[in-house]
Amino acid sequence: MTRTLFEKLIAVASGRKEADLCVQDARILDVFNGEWFDGDLLVSGGYIAGFAEKGKGKGKTIVDAQNRYLVPGFMDCHVHIESSYLSPTEFSNLVLPSGTTSIVADPHEICNVCGLDGIRYMLKASAHTPLSVNMMVSSCVPATDFEHAGAVLLAKDIKKMFGKERVLGLGEMMNYPGVIAGTPFVLDKIWEARLAGLPIDGHAPSLDGCGLDAYAAAGIRTDHECSTPEELHARIRRGMYVMLRQGSACTNLLSLLGGVNDANMHHCMFCTDDRQPKSILEEGHINNNVRLAVQAGLDPIKALTIATLNGSECYHLDDRGAIAPGRRADFLFLDNLTDFNPSAVYVLGSLVAEKGQLLAPTEPVEAKNVSGRMFVKDFSEARLALPLKKEHVRVIDIIPGGVVTGKGEADVRTKNGIWVHDSDADILKVAVVERHHGTGNIGLGLLRGYGLKQGAIATSVAHDSHNIIVTGSNDHDMAIAVEDLISLGGGMTVVRDGEVVDHLALPIAGLMTDLPALEVNEKLVELHELAYSELSVSRNIDPFMTLCFMALPVIPAYKVTDMGLFDVTTFSLVPLEL
């Protein structure tokens, strides 16, 4: 806000000047007192100037709210834009009609591919979107030392981003064992955020007792990995905020609602974490969190407060989150308090979406420094061969509905000491091919519960280092899938009988595309159906999302990285043979 707009805002608020916009006949949500009141809303220069008696307000532009509910714009308090496969501009175009006007994004995925170039691109690409895109600087690049990511961000690197416009703090600190143990390079990052007076996001599944005390003492402010009301209470007791998450793969909103009460609700927030276009198009974004919470019995005012005010207070975004003088005129019209689908969305006092439709989509920004990130060396079909000294082996067991895997065991077949696929057993080879530094690394493992009978599936979206991950019934199709991704510059592909059946290119860091959300969703639906119908992947799982999380070495129990099979419970690489 400029000094001129500041002075005008006060003049309008005091009645000395006419408002730019007057919204008449609205039922306005007061998130501070927890009540509704009838009145007119006055807006000047994109900010709320004040209120007028119902029907008495004046302005250069008059909007009749027709007694609709007027509420603050929703905030997603923790989201990875990259998980939508959309660029920041296309993500903005997708979520605005659902009423999300602000997000706190962690560019963890693109930073693991491109380092600080990744967050710089995300900031540039979102600079002119109506959606207010705020960033946390990723804290875990790489997530562990047992894989090769595209970059390493140390405290000195992270410090460079603090103080930049729209950079709010330090992203989710997944290395909670390092925090608790007092590991110097971990504490260095936290200390820089503390010196700057910035919030620090957490990620600490199942952490409790003295470990949780240490985590909170370090200054970790939030956690989105709670799964029970008891965990919610334990974190709030230590002064932390808890995020009720409703993503595409990971959901804990309904399981946590039983722990939300009048006393602690102001330390609760909503987030999506990872949400795909299909979920957003069919169910919505943060409005879906609100809807589910109210359907489960939470009072609508409480749900709306969690979706608006709480995030602004947690992240010191004091210019939004409420319908109050001096705050951004980011607000929604709701026809009812059941579906929470906005009939109109305003950002800085301007109408940006109406009846679920965006009025003026933002054009994409060229991704100069973050494309073409496919530096694979010495790859060949022969490199996918899996030698075994024993036939009794460790197996990654897929558990449908989440990203946690089981510690499986199995007896498998070999020929001349090399593993061979058994069509009667639901066990597949899975490989992670390093794509950032040309190390030539290929990590191999065995996967059970995926269901694939023929062909291969591969993606360059493979949390958290985003190397190429591929699984299949034979090495030839797997190799073709990897080579297809290299030629695309990243993406997703389905291969059968030596041919690429279909693919989706994700040229922005191998994670995102500038294609519109509807087009991306149509392609994803086609790829999923091909995986189910042509390759016989189990319909109990998401073929691509399940596969991409098989490389995530911070979620138990077995995962595979470019360095081999990883046991998350012991935090060590382990041999396949038992």
SS (H, E, C) 495-545: EECCEEEEEEECCECCCEECCCHHHHHHHHHHHHHHHHHCCCCCCCCCHHH
Nearest CA-CA partner of 25 in 60, 65, 56? 65
In the 8-state DSSP scheme, what is residue 285? S
Task: Give the dihedral sign, CA 492/494/498/501.
Answer: negative
Q: What is the DSSP string of 216-237?
A: HHTTB-EES---SHHHHHHHHH
- Report the CATH number at residue 158: 3.20.20.140
The predicted pLDDT at position 401 comes to 75
Q: What is the pLDDT of residue 368?
A: 87
Please compute, for residue 127, the number of CA atoms within 13 A of its CA located in the half-sphere on the CB side. 10
The answer to whether 459 and 441 have CB atoms below 8 angstroms apart is: no
In a domain, 252, yes or no: yes
Q: Within this chain, do residues 283 and 391 fall inside the same structural domain, yes or no?
A: no
Q: What is the pLDDT of residue 223?
A: 98
The pLDDT assigned to 56 comes to 93
Do 91 and 168 fall into the same domain?
yes
- The 3-state DSSP class for residue 196 equals coil
Instruction: Identify the three-state secondary structure at position 358.
Output: strand
Q: Do 421 and 460 fall into the same domain?
A: yes
pLDDT of residue 308: 98
User: What's the rounded Cα separation, in Å, for the pair 463 and 135?
Assistant: 19
Residue 461 resides in a domain: yes
Does 336 reside within a domain? no
Q: What is the pLDDT of residue 294?
A: 98
Residues 62 and 99 in one domain: no
> Which two structure tokens, joined as six digits, stand for 28?
């306005």
pTM of the model: 0.94
**What pLDDT is recorded for position 331?**
98
Note the helical H segments in 238-283: 253-257, 277-283
CA distance 460 to 488: 10
pLDDT at 250: 84
Q: How many domains does the chain have?
A: 3
Q: CA separation (Å) from 520 to 272, 416, 457, 494?
A: 19, 44, 18, 16
Q: How many CB atoms lie within 10 A of CB 107?
A: 28
- Domain contains 123: yes
Residue with tokens 């930073």: 111
Among the three residues 49, 67, 85, which one is the final residue of a domain in this structure? 67
Instruction: Name, in order, each residue with C-beta under 8 angstroms of 201's C-beta and a sequence gap of 6 or more.
Output: 78, 106, 136, 139, 169, 170, 171, 172, 173, 220, 221, 222, 224
Mark whether 402 and 303 lie in a shared domain: no
- In-domain check, residue 365: no
Return d(Cα 246, Cα 449) in angstroms, integer.
24
Dist. CA 82–CA 61, nearest whole Å = 38
First to last CA, the chain: 64
Reduced to 3 states (helix: H, G, I; strand: E, B; else coil), residue 202 is strand
CATH number at residue 20: 2.30.40.10
Same domain? For 389 and 513 the reply is yes
Strand runs labelled E in 331-388: 331-334, 342-347, 350-354, 357-358
Clarify whether residues 286 and 169 are in a common domain.
yes
**Domain check: are 300 and 166 in the same one?**
yes
Q: How far apart are CA 298 and CA 244, in angstroms?
A: 13
Angle, alpha carbons 177-187-208 (nearest 5°)? 35
pLDDT tens digits in sequence order for the chain, 578 residues long: 899 999 999 999 999 999 999 999 999 999 999 999 999 999 999 999 999 999 999 999 999 999 999 999 999 999 999 999 999 999 999 999 999 999 999 999 999 999 999 999 999 999 999 999 999 999 999 988 899 999 999 999 999 999 999 999 999 999 998 999 999 999 999 999 999 999 999 999 889 999 999 999 999 999 999 999 999 999 999 999 999 999 987 899 999 999 999 999 999 999 999 999 999 999 999 999 999 999 999 999 999 999 999 999 999 999 999 999 999 999 999 999 999 999 999 999 999 999 999 999 999 999 989 998 999 999 999 999 999 999 999 999 999 877 889 999 999 999 999 999 998 999 999 999 999 999 999 999 999 999 999 999 999 999 999 999 999 999 999 999 999 999 999 999 999 999 999 999 999 999 999 999 999 999 999 999 999 999 999 999 999 999 999 999 988 899 999 999 999 999 899 999 99
What pLDDT is recorded for position 307? 98
- Same domain? 300 vs 444: no
Residue 364 lies in a domain: no
- State the Cα–Cα distance between residues 451 and 449, nearest whole angstrom: 6
Q: Are residues 61 and 80 in the same domain?
A: no
Boundaries of domain holding 43: 3-67
Same domain? 238 vs 180: yes
| H/E element, 361 | none
Angular region, 466: left φ>0, alpha ψ -120 to 50, beta rest: left
Q: Would you call 16 exposed, middle or buried from its count of C-beta atoms within 10 A (0-12, 13-18, 19+)? A: exposed
Q: Is residue 115 part of a domain?
A: yes
Q: How many Å apart are CA 456 and CA 470, to the nearest integer?
A: 7
Whether residue 525 is contained in a domain is answered as yes
Cα angle: 487, vertex 488, 489; to 5 degrees: 95
- Is the domain of 185 the same as that of 285? yes
Instruction: Decide: 524 and 278 in contact? Cβ < 8 Å.
Output: yes
